[in-house]
Amino acid sequence: MPVAFKLSINDQAELNQYDDAIQQRVHMLLDCFARVAKSKVKVVDACLHEARTLGHQKTFTCGSIKRLYYTYIKSGDFRELIDKRLRKDITREKKGLSDETIEFFRGLCDKNKRSCKAGYRRLIDMWYNDEPIPGIGNWSARFRDAHPMQPLPDIVPDPPDGFSYQNFMRFAPTHAEKVLSRQGIAAALAILPSCISTRVGLRPFEFVTFDDAELDFMIHDPASGQICRLQGLFSLDVATACALRFGLRPAIIRTEDGKKDSLKALDMERLIIKLLTTFGFPRDWQMTFVCERGTATVREAFKRALYENTGGRVLVTKTGMVAGKVLEFADQPIGNPRAKGWMESWFNLLHNYCGALPGQKGRLYTLAPRELEVRRKSAQELVKLRKMLPAELALQTRTPFFDLHQADASILDLVLRINARTDHKCEGFDQLKVWTAPTRGVIQPQPYENLSGISDAWLDDVRVETRVETPLERYARLMHDTHMLKLHDSAVAALLQTHRVVTVRDYEVTITIDGKEYRYLDAASDLMLEGAEYLAYINEDDLSKIYLTNGKGAYLGTLPLRERMTRGDVEMLKRQIAQKQHILKQHINAIQNRNGDVYQNQLADINANIELCEMAESVVSATPEHMENAEESYVSENIYQGVTSASHIEPVDAVAVLMERKKRRATNDNE
């Protein structure tokens, strides 16, 4: 009996009880099946045609249409065409697995750093080893519960229903959870939704980002004769995607300690100074330097000095570190490359442009050209040859690697080409209309606005095209109304000085330069507050004083160097003793002023003791010798000196007061 591709009244009434999405799917499939049945080509070709018509949707591929077609032909039941995933009244079966068991299985997968299948194997081993499984128990207990009168079998029974590998994989950890437990937080953040930013609306030099990179080619260093890697610091204006300044340093292996001479904080600071003296900083808005916390960073003291010497117009911010704890141990903190994604994508472009330079070492060790080692050996032989040649001839030898000057010139040329590229997809760039006339000798693209000035005879030879503006063109357009301020020479001198954040400790400021300590002190200065923090400018050619600011542009004062004295220098000894006595007096006054109650109590104790001694004198007849013994016994060696609310109290003792009164009485009696 031929199958009808239209629903009966009863079937249509039942279908109407489902959601619209299910109804549309069923009718769409029935229409497809009708066309496939009428087609004169093979079923598979007809299904392929239907899949193409539907745009190869996930649920309407050629294979799924063919499978559903034969299923419907065989059964004639429209219910076979319903996608159960669209039915809200059907919940996902767990096939006998409890939530507790599923979570335990996921925990086993989390603990294995390689495979979920290994976690499943561990679960099966636990069953056959009669270990308790959360939500299920162990097989022996389950057998006793099911067959209380029977002995345990010699052969372990199979696991219960739902213990298949395919079923457990339905409840395996998600992709993000697997990456999080196996690789850590930083890797998981890369696949989770990230913060979306845009350069649209940014002004030139509003945000400038810095980063370091190791280039994918090696160079020859004539001074050391080494074939070494090349490192660089680069800066990029975010608003225009224009590379600004860069600096290079060969990673030479030092002979004295065998360590690599890598980029330093001083290199980064000099690059910033060079950028500010070349381009300057905006007058009408704040400029923010985005640095990392690794190599391309600046010291806190330089950050504050930069803020001071630009009138607060230049700020330095640092990208965050990704850290945290997932399971047993905390992740090793790592920088967040997504915080400066403009720089990371620009580096990929730079590496591609540098791919034709000699001495390529590859992006990874496994991708290094096989000829690199032969090229290196050839260069080392030429280095030996240089040593045997006269100096003027040695400089003319040609090695298969660039030296630093050649590399610098090549990278500068490539950076200029990158800034002038039009084959990019940078967001926020305008579309430009340009024209050329090759037959008339106009090869370089000209602005479309200039087309109005040419003669009519040229019109047939003019070619007009639309392209995206280059970073340099965007830079020129946005800089049209931008006023820049150059870094003053005096500010450059201040930034090139040594500057550090210093803290007053024990009423001194101590600075260590080249392993030697220098101590600065001015006892009479209000700056010597314990724990106070300042930004100190230091001239290493004259360490006799340091200059203190508050880190926000305000000059606070100068501290002199504490010189070491010789034993015979009496005047210097007096000055240092006077300074120490001044500081000691400040300490004593501070303690006494905040502990007046202690000395009030002490005064009360002394007066009480005097009264007790007077009472004892009236009862016991004491001889002068007895009182002298009492004086030796009771007079304290300590000097009591305190403050009251009105005046200072001189050294006093109760027995001494009584002795003085005794002497006065004896004198009066003699008289």
d(CA 182, CA 175): 11
Q: Which residues contact 628 (CB under 8 A, 6 or more apart)?
A: 659
Residue from 277, 278, 301, 276 nearest 289 by CA: 276
Average pLDDT over residues 192-213: 86
CA angle 165, 169, 174 (to 5 degrees): 160
User: Residue 417: is its pLDDT beyond 90?
Assistant: yes
Residues written for the chain: 671
User: What pLDDT is stored for residue 539 in this prediction?
Assistant: 67
State percent of the chain over pLDDT 70: 80
User: Residue 347: is its pLDDT beyond 60?
Assistant: yes
pLDDT averaged over the chain?
A: 80
pLDDT, tens digit, for every residue of 556-610? Answer: 878 888 766 566 666 766 776 776 677 677 667 767 777 766 667 777 777 777 7
Q: What share of the chain is helix, strand, coil (3-state, %, to 5)?
A: 45, 20, 35
User: What pLDDT is stored for residue 258 in this prediction?
Assistant: 74
pLDDT, tens digit, for every residue of 229-255? Answer: 999 999 999 999 999 999 999 998 887
User: What pLDDT is stored for residue 414 in this prediction?
Assistant: 95
User: What pLDDT is stored for residue 583 in this prediction?
Assistant: 65
**Look-up: residue for tokens 């990278």?**
411
d(CA 381, CA 423): 42
Task: Determine how β-strand 555-560 pairs with β-strand 542-549.
Answer: antiparallel
Residue from 541, 296, 248, 511 nearest 402 by CA: 248
Backbone torsions φ then ψ of 499, nearest 5 degrees:
-135, 140
Burial group, residue 466, by CB count within 10 angstroms (0-12, 13-18, 19+): exposed
Task: Determine how β-strand 314-318 pairs with β-strand 287-291.
Answer: parallel
User: Residue 636: is its pLDDT beyond 50?
Assistant: no
Average pLDDT over residues 147-160: 88
d(CA 142, CA 58): 43
Higher pLDDT among residues 395 and 2, named by residue: 395
d(CA 106, CA 11): 43
Q: Which residues contact 92 (CB under 8 A, 6 or more apart)?
A: none
Average pLDDT over residues 27-35: 88
User: What pLDDT is stored for residue 668 in this prediction?
Assistant: 64
Q: Is 114 left (phi over 0), alpha (psi -120 to 50) or beta?
A: alpha
Q: Which residues of 354-376 are buried (b: 16+ CB within 10 A; e: fewer)?
A: beebbbbbeeeeeeeeeebeebb
User: What pLDDT is stored for residue 644 in this prediction?
Assistant: 36
d(CA 521, CA 558): 10
Higher pLDDT among residues 195 and 262, named by residue: 262
User: What pLDDT is stored for residue 397 in this prediction?
Assistant: 75
Window from 186-190, 357-361, 397-401, 545-549 with minimum mean pLDDT: 186-190
d(CA 537, CA 499): 4
d(CA 285, CA 288): 10
d(CA 117, CA 105): 10
Task: Determine how β-strand 321-322 pairs with β-strand 442-447.
Answer: unpaired
pLDDT, tens digit, for every residue of 362-407? Answer: 888 778 888 888 888 888 888 787 777 777 777 777 788 898 999 9
d(CA 197, CA 340): 11
User: What pLDDT is stored for residue 327 in this prediction?
Assistant: 64
pLDDT, tens digit, for every residue of 91-105? Answer: 444 456 888 999 999
Average pLDDT over residues 179-204: 81
**Token pair recorded at residue 422:** 């039009």
Q: Is 287 left (phi over 0), alpha (psi -120 to 50) or beta?
A: beta
Window from 323-332, 365-374, 546-555 with minimum mean pLDDT: 323-332
User: What pLDDT is stored for residue 664 in this prediction?
Assistant: 67
| Amino acid, res. 344 | E
d(CA 428, CA 340): 17
User: What pLDDT is stored for residue 323 in this prediction?
Assistant: 61
Check: CB of residue 534 under 8 Å from CB of residue 548. yes
User: Residue 639: is its pLDDT beyond 50?
Assistant: no
Task: Report pTM.
Answer: 0.60
SS3 545: strand
**Spacing of C-alpha 225 from chain mean position:** 37
Check: CB of residue 248 under 8 Å from CB of residue 408. yes
**Token pair recorded at residue 394:** 């040695």
User: Residue 35: is its pLDDT beyond 50?
Assistant: yes
Higher pLDDT among residues 395 and 299, named by residue: 299
Half-sphere exposure of 170 (CA within 13 A, CB side): 12
d(CA 281, CA 135): 66
Window from 165-169, 360-364, 504-508, 609-613 with minimum mean pLDDT: 609-613
Backbone torsions φ then ψ of 518, nearest 5 degrees:
-125, 130
d(CA 249, CA 557): 38
User: Residue 282: is its pLDDT beyond 50?
Assistant: yes
pLDDT, tens digit, for every residue of 58-81? Answer: 567 888 888 888 888 888 888 888
pLDDT, tens digit, for every residue of 445-478? Answer: 888 887 777 777 787 888 888 999 999 999 999 9
Distances, alpha carbon 399 to alpha carbons 359, 402, 562, 633, in Å: 10, 7, 55, 96
CA angle 255, 257, 259 (to 5 degrees): 90
Backbone torsions φ then ψ of 181, nearest 5 degrees:
-80, -25
User: What pLDDT is stored for residue 559 in this prediction?
Assistant: 83
User: What pLDDT is stored for residue 524 in this prediction?
Assistant: 67
Q: Which residues contact 353 (CB under 8 A, 6 or more apart)?
A: 414, 417, 418
pLDDT, tens digit, for every residue of 644-657? Answer: 333 344 444 555 66
**Token pair recorded at residue 218:** 């090696």
Distances, alpha carbon 293 to alpha carbons 459, 604, 610, 640, in Å: 57, 61, 70, 57
Highest mean pLDDT among 141-150, 319-328, 563-572, 652-661: 141-150
**Token pair recorded at residue 280:** 């300057």
